[in-house]
């Protein structure tokens, strides 16, 4: 595994191509000034900047662990962007998302992963289940797998529903060490027979220093909340401590996933 370099490019959004209406947050395919297409996640959408933070942290950790994920970039949205958009809902979303957003490189021609068509081997399934238990990602179910097949490889997308502790900050320490009960609905859980081996493989890669490199990528403006007293630095520290504590207690979520899998098979 190569050394992790914490760096995201920044692009400027130049055109709105089409909305992706599969989810409630209305992400969109958009073009940028580097000539590429991206799936753009908006700060003005449903869960706002917390979804962008979860997407950023989840995507970067997946990359560190060697899993396939489209390139993440920061995406600037100008105040004038979208004024000519005829759809009022989309126009309101664009206006609310002026500034720094997050985007994933668009994988042209990719198809949604279908577990009845593609069999994932036990090691890869265990790696993805372990990642989602760490991140408390509730959104990798048979109904919505958030995985794509592209060039015959499995790619992970959409980690915005991860880290749900940040919707209720008051008991984050307790949540950090809990098993992940929602793993029972994970689409790959029946195939995840190597969780102990993956735990031993992945934990050394996610040192406290690496976790803090990832968390330090979060822009201050995504951590500024007038309804909260904490500073961006204090909120960033909570993300780092949550992940560090969760990793230290990883046996809890590994055991929980194994018990849930045993109930299925």
69-126 pLDDT, tens digit each: 999 999 999 987 766 677 788 888 899 999 999 999 999 999 999 999 999 999 999 9
User: Closest by alpha carbon to 106, among 182, 11, 190, 247?
Assistant: 11
Same domain assignment for residues 58 and 134: no
Task: Indicate the pTM of the whole model.
Answer: 0.94
**Residue 1 located in a structural domain:** no
Same domain assignment for residues 57 and 73: yes
Same domain assignment for residues 96 and 120: no
User: Closest by alpha carbon to 14, among 37, 44, 48?
Assistant: 37
What pLDDT does residue 80 have? 78
**Helical ranges in the chain per DSSP H:** 48-64, 88-96, 122-135, 172-176, 195-202, 208-215, 232-248, 250-264
**Residue 143 located in a structural domain:** yes
The token pair that represents 253 in the structure block: 């979520």
Same domain assignment for residues 100 and 119: no
C-alpha separations of 3 from 58, 167, 199 in Å: 18, 32, 19
Same domain assignment for residues 96 and 163: no
**Residue 100 located in a structural domain:** yes
Same domain assignment for residues 133 and 253: yes
**Residue 126 located in a structural domain:** yes
User: Closest by alpha carbon to 30, among 22, 43, 42?
Assistant: 42
Distance CA 134, CA 163 (A): 9
pLDDT score of 219 more than 90:
yes
Distance CA 201, CA 189 (A): 18
How many structural domains compose the chain?
2
Give the residue-averaged pLDDT of 164-178: 91
**Helical ranges in 136-228 per DSSP H:** 172-176, 195-202, 208-215
* Residues 146 and 157: beta-carbon distance below 8 Å: yes
Provide the residue range defining the domain that includes 168: 111-264
Write out pLDDT tens, residues 53-82.
999 999 999 999 999 999 999 999 998 776
**Residue 2 located in a structural domain:** no
The alpha carbon of residue 139 and the mean position of all alpha carbons in its chain are separated, in whole angstroms, by 10
Same domain assignment for residues 75 and 173: no
**Residue 4 located in a structural domain:** no
Strand-pair partners of 149:
111, 154
Q: Given 59, 75, 105, which residue is the final one in a domain?
A: 105
Q: Given 105, 129, 161, which residue is the final one in a domain?
A: 105
Same domain assignment for residues 20 and 80: yes
Distance CA 131, CA 61 (A): 8
Same domain assignment for residues 80 and 66: yes
Portion of the chain with pLDDT greater than 90, in percent: 80
Backbone phi, then psi, for 19, in 5-degree steps?
-75, 155
Q: Given 89, 105, 121, which residue is the final one in a domain?
A: 105
């Amino acid at each position: 595994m190569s050394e992790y370099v914490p760096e995201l490019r920044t692009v400027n959004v130049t055109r709105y191509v089409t909305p992706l209406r599969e989810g409630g947050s209305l992400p969109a395919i958009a073009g940028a000034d580097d000539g590429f297409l991206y799936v753009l996640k908006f700060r003005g959408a449903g869960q706002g900047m917390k979804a962008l933070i979860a997407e950023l942290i989840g995507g970067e950790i997946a990359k560190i662990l060697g899993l396939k994920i489209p390139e993440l970039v920061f995406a600037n949205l100008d105040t004038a962007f979208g004024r000519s958009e005829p759809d009022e809902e989309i126009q309101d979303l664009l206006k609310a998302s002026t500034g720094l957003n997050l985007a994933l490189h668009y994988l042209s021609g990719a198809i949604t992963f279908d577990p009845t068509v593609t069999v994932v081997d036990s090691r890869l399934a265990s790696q993805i289940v372990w990642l989602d238990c760490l991140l408390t990602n509730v959104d990798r179910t048979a109904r919505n797998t958030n995985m794509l097949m592209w060039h015959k490889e499995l790619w992970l997308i959409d980690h915005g529903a991860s880290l749900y502790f940040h919707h209720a900050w008051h008991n984050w320490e307790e949540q950090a060490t809990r098993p992940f009960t929602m793993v029972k609905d994970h689409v790959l859980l029946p195939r995840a027979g190597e969780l102990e081996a993956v735990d031993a493989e992945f934990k050394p890669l996610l040192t406290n220093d690496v976790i803090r490199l990832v968390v330090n990528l979060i822009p201050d403006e995504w951590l500024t909340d007038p309804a909260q007293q904490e500073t961006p630095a204090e909120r960033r520290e909570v993300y780092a401590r949550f992940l560090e504590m969760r990793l230290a207690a990883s046996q809890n979520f590994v055991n929980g996933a194994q018990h849930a899998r045993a109930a299925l098979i």
